[in-house]
Structure 1
Amino acid sequence: MAKGAFQTSREIFENPIWIDVVKFRIFFYIYGNAVFANDGTTVAGIHLKRGQYLRSYRNLQKDLVYLDKKAFKQYSLSTIKDKVDQLVKEGRIRIESTDYGTLFTVVNYEEYQGFERYTNILSEQQPNGNRTVTEQYPNNNKNDKNDKNDKNNNITSKKSKKRIYSDDDPNKKLAKLLFKLISKNQDIQEPDLDKWANTIRLTIEADKRTGKEVQEMIVWSSQSDFWSGVILSPTSLRKNFDKMAAQKNKQKRSNRSSTPSVEPERETNSEVNF
């Protein structure tokens, strides 16, 4: 089983797949174990791309064992195959037979693992087969959700004019710094830096943080083995800021108690003045 972490939107609780326990478990298991690395990996001589998972139906049967009235039970192979066929029909996964099992491909895996998709409303004119899990079905609470998103991000109108930041704006500089450091660890395309700058502005103004604190957290997260793979946008930085701050402070206290020497100040050419 793959190690590490992967992200899932809370919107999954509002999706029809949530009420189909067996189908949800199968999809979530495949999605959670799919290859995360951009370069993929090789299993049994087969190169798996990002978002793919190689597993036989019989092994899936063992993986999905569940406890019912103090007894361990398994889904039948026919049940698993039926639910997989449904997932394929719904456009959530694609399957391909190999000599070593079934090659599962999670459709729109990049969308699921891109933090920006959880804050931006994607075009509703996409063909259903290319839409993400949470967009394939009507959302009765869409207006309420949009209102909450607008409130949380201090946006007065969903159709308000896009804010443009000058290159010498401190928020834009922090956006560029974040992109530069992410690019050292991840292969990503250049984002909309004005959107990134706006999220950083909200992190400072709405969350009551200083620009210096945000800058230090950007640098610290890029140097962390774990957080460097999580913080891939200002949105994820803002969402995880408190968790990282607590860990950063704990790490700082631990370093102070373990050695009396003063850590030399690191040189950096990326400092932003506030």
Structure 2
Amino acid sequence: MEGWIKLHRNIQDHWIYKEKRTFSKYEAWLDMIMMANHKENKFLLGNELIKVSRGQFITSELKLMEKWGWSKTKLRNFLKMLEKDGMILKESDNKKTTITIVNYSDWQDQETTERPQEDHKKTTERPQEDTNKNEKNEKNEKNINNRCKLKFGNESMEYKLANYLKNWMIKNNSKAKVPNTDRQMDNWSQHIDYMLRIDKRDPEEIKEIIRFCQTNSFWMTNVLSTKKLREKYDSLYLQMKKSNVVPLKGGSEYAGGKGNNQETDQYDEVKTLKLGKA
């Protein structure tokens, strides 16, 4: 199910939300999104003026442990899991812990946060117009796609690698479910960014992994997104090495079978680009 619902932060003041309980991982993640600043802010911490960007919040492990009813081990494991999946960035010092929600605008659109009361009034005054919420949500999502600034231009390495996988999938299956909007393509590029920036993968190696998985009868039906590519990367790498894949300049060769350099090397110019975002 796709689309948006509008959830105001005031829900945190409701008696249902305040119920003393041990938070689930989902509740903890939702709580983090609601704690994040929807616009840039500053506050004093002792004698230090702290700047907090949109999508960030300042906290401490102790506060989160008390709020969620978790042990220190459970909390640290959860935060490490979110970091590994590219959902958050965490920075800690002896005074505070700063958490950044990655792609915050994907979860909370700027315009939605700045006009909650106006939107609520419109919703209550026009109940009949909301009978088909799925259709309305789909339109809202398209509008949000147009408003949100894309992180990765089509000349960035992240975009080119994501597009390389997309082209291979279409080549293998003309009806493959691939990104068809700029926002969807940006999301695919984001997982490539995680591979480059967090996992420290080599871009040329990522390219060869994509080639391998999309020419392997098993993996071509199982790796159908950049997110899945990242999840299965180590397994793909080991199997690629075991299969004696020999990459060739201007083309590729897999276990004795030659590839078509005109169809498969649409991304080769990436080698001339520097790492980083567009």
- Scaled by the length of structure 2, the TM-score of the pair is 0.42
- Scaled by the length of structure 1, the TM-score of the pair is 0.42
